Structure 1
């Protein structure tokens, strides 16, 4: 047996929550990997919302889904994930966050506590019962350590009666390895 990497565990958890024809959100589009994953899950009758502050992420994500030939309704927005609730007006089954910076781009443009925590709160409000949020935290870059710790603190404070929260990651890996925080909504 081999333990899955945190990103693979995030996909496994999300896969269990998203139905064909459902609605999902990629809160940090990046290069479009999560958007494509979600598009495959929701299928032709489903919808994927996506957010990123960099136009190149919107372009890359659209291209990735189109090149894969996956059909679903896409609604990608060049704005921060803290505007999630202003854009998404329907219940969602999953919201995926990949914090940090866009690979192979300006590493000075990063997600921050000031935008991520409000976005997480909005994601919780949008989730339907049984829905999940996956948050990949990357404490190994400047600013990422503070954001990761604040995400953990925030997630730990969710009431146990309505939420299940796990942390998953390799604790014996070097250089502040990434880890997953996954949140499941237990009640409406």
Structure 2
């Protein structure tokens, strides 16, 4: 039985929208599970670019990818997601995956921030191909607060509906500020 955690749910919907064997970006590498997921989608002919500002994330992800024999499918960057446009051409990316917040098991003071996250989403939209998809796992409450969630949702609401389809899901019957899975499709 599926657990329907935000990442599982987002993975399911993401893979329904993207072309396999493409170019994908993991904008928030963390412990590498989303990078691994994207490497599996990339197959032998695709590629994954993954970003994080913490060396621990690079180490954990490298180990995980080697364990699954897919390390050759990904390039890991010790850099902020807001700089992803320095590593890929506009209109070249099939899918981008964000998992906002902090590195699980890491320093909670080193979490994604509203300003850089919104900039990263904006740059990511330029990188997406027409028909490309962006998945966003948005957390709030506790350590992460509400500023980032509110700023991201405000930004998404203002996206031009002629250029983008924005779908925001909710765990409607969960208490205590459940995470929000959101998706953006760049219209073809």
Paired with 2:147 and 2:6, the residues of 1 have a C-alpha distance of 19
Moved more, 112-121 or 11-20: 11-20
Structure 2 residue runs without a partner (length 5+)? none
Structure 1 residue runs without a partner (length 5+)? none
Number of the residue aligned with 1:180: 181
* 1:7-156 alignment, distance < 5 Å: 7-70=7-70, 72-89=72-89, 91-156=92-157
Paired with 1:107 and 1:28, the residues of 2 have a C-alpha distance of 14
Paired with 1:40 and 1:106, the residues of 2 have a C-alpha distance of 28
Q: Runs of at least 4 residues of structure 1 off by over 4 A?
A: none
Alignment deviations for residues 16-62 of structure 1 (CA, whole Å, 9 cap, x no partner): 23333310000000000000000000111110000000001011111
* 1:154-169 alignment, distance < 5 Å: 154-169=155-170
TM-score, scaled to structure 2: 0.93
Aligned 8 A contact 2:20 2:41 in 1: yes
Paired with 2:71 and 2:100, the residues of 1 have a C-alpha distance of 26
Aligned 8 A contact 1:138 1:179 in 2: yes
Aligned 8 A contact 2:18 2:95 in 1: yes
Paired with 1:93 and 1:79, the residues of 2 have a C-alpha distance of 21
Aligned residues: 187
Paired with 1:184 and 1:72, the residues of 2 have a C-alpha distance of 28
Paired with 2:77 and 2:87, the residues of 1 have a C-alpha distance of 9
Aligned 8 A contact 2:139 2:180 in 1: yes
TM-score, scaled to structure 1: 0.93
In the TM superposition, residue 7 of structure 1 has moved relative to its aligned partner by 2.1
Q: What's the C-alpha RMSD, in Å, of the aligned pairs?
A: 1.8
Paired with 1:137 and 1:2, the residues of 2 have a C-alpha distance of 20
